[in-house]
Structure 1
């Protein structure tokens, strides 16, 4: 790949856990760490969301200034990055063919709108069929549950994947709040689900499909996404 890789990060637009539910949204570090990793590698990164416009941030994922992870502090201090987050592209205005990789950060908001989005399922299917890299971390793999490969089968079927585990969901006290348990759904779709101990870094790369288990996995998920891009360009 002679030009810089182009990466589309697709964020949730769901600000609550269901109608009238408690606040949720994007888990900030799962955006900031991959974003800065990609930028440092010379990639051109675009931010989109299901509805477009400002992406909601899970308030639990932000601390007072100076107390966040370095990637979060850096993102917040970057005027261009903050402006992009405040005015994300509507997913309907994006095309998979314009990007080399699609990356889905997590946050509990993803459990409500990513699986229901026809546009996302279509974009991911098109990206996969076109040989693009597809990556997701933590609850981001919720966006994969309706995506299909070129045969019409679930994209995750028969492939090694990870995501926020059922055990982790119970540990954070939200197993009864989410629309479904992500590990269970992926297994039901035929994925070869694997996991590490709760909240420990764990990432899988099955060819062009890269998935990370939890927030602690975001940095490694980003690095393996770049590795998959390099491999795909050979």
Structure 2
């Protein structure tokens, strides 16, 4: 049975600078906005956290890119309290039992902090091993590249997974600014990487325990991953 009120822990990056370029980065607007409205419509309770707590940096380029996107504009205008007052991720260690799932929002920021954040890696293991929905979109799946299970094996080993592709990174001209290429690292962690037939196409993959490891490829996949997460909670 579906929980009457799904409880979802949403994680944002705390990282605000793009590698050594000096340019701003952070989390990506539609990748929070589109799933948020899916969760909201389903009556979900959402708790927002980040590694440092407090204000999680919004990538300004995503605001510009999605200025014609009605949901993104509405979210930016009405919901800023969600990302300006996040709780510290570390507060939620040992509390997987209080939630039905965890969702990591993308943006380039997670490549620099959440991919190697020890608290995040522990949190992911706790949620996954407890049979909870464990999910991420776009660059968010960077959080899985170093995640291991209690037996020491990679969480992604043998599992289908998606995330921002090498081709997409090349097309936005940011491959040289990244600490690693996400597609390559997901494969190196044992993941069976899959992607949409064309760059920027919608792709959401459910694998792992009862299909509860859920990943989305890119910003276009943000609404679809929200729907997939809710379906997995049923």
User: With structure 1 as the length reference, what TM-score do the two structures score?
Assistant: 0.92
Deviation at 1:22, TM superposition (A): 1.2
**Does the CA contact (< 8 Å) of 1:164 and 1:183 recur in 2?**
yes
Equivalent position of 1:44 in the other structure: 45
Is residue 213 from structure 1 mapped to residue 217 from structure 2 by the alignment?
A: yes
Is residue 114 from structure 1 mapped to residue 114 from structure 2 by the alignment?
A: yes
Of stretches 107-116 and 93-102 in structure 1, the one that deviates more from structure 2 is: 93-102
**1:47 partner SS:** strand
Instruction: Please give the root-mean-square deviation of Cα atoms over the aligned residues, in Å.
Output: 1.6
**Does the CA contact (< 8 Å) of 1:96 and 1:124 recur in 2?**
no
Deviation at 1:28, TM superposition (A): 0.8
**2:136 partner SS:** strand
**1:62 partner SS:** helix
Structure 1 Cα separation of the partners of residues 77 and 63 of structure 2: 14
Q: What does 1:1-234 correspond to in 2, within 5 Å?
A: 1-18=2-19, 21-63=22-64, 67-78=67-78, 81-94=79-92, 95-196=95-196, 197-206=198-207, 207-230=211-234
Structure 2 Cα separation of the partners of residues 178 and 151 of structure 1: 30
**Does the CA contact (< 8 Å) of 1:13 and 1:25 recur in 2?**
yes
Point out where structure 2 has 5 or more consecutive residues left out of the alignment: none
Residue by residue over 1:34-82, the C-alpha shift from the partner in whole angstroms, topping out at 9 and shown as x without a partner, is 1111011111011111111001011101139x9341221221333xx32
Residue by residue over 1:68-110, the C-alpha shift from the partner in whole angstroms, topping out at 9 and shown as x without a partner, is 41221221333xx321211101101123222111001100111
Structure 2 Cα separation of the partners of residues 165 and 36 of structure 1: 26
Structure 1 Cα separation of the partners of residues 3 and 10 of structure 2: 21
Structure 1 Cα separation of the partners of residues 143 and 43 of structure 2: 26
Deviation at 1:176, TM superposition (A): 1.0
**Does the CA contact (< 8 Å) of 2:156 and 2:189 recur in 1?**
yes
**1:204 partner SS:** strand
Structure 2 Cα separation of the partners of residues 155 and 126 of structure 1: 11
**Does the CA contact (< 8 Å) of 2:13 and 2:56 recur in 1?**
yes
Deviation at 1:148, TM superposition (A): 1.9
Structure 2 Cα separation of the partners of residues 121 and 2 of structure 1: 26
For these two proteins, the number of residue pairs brought into alignment is 227
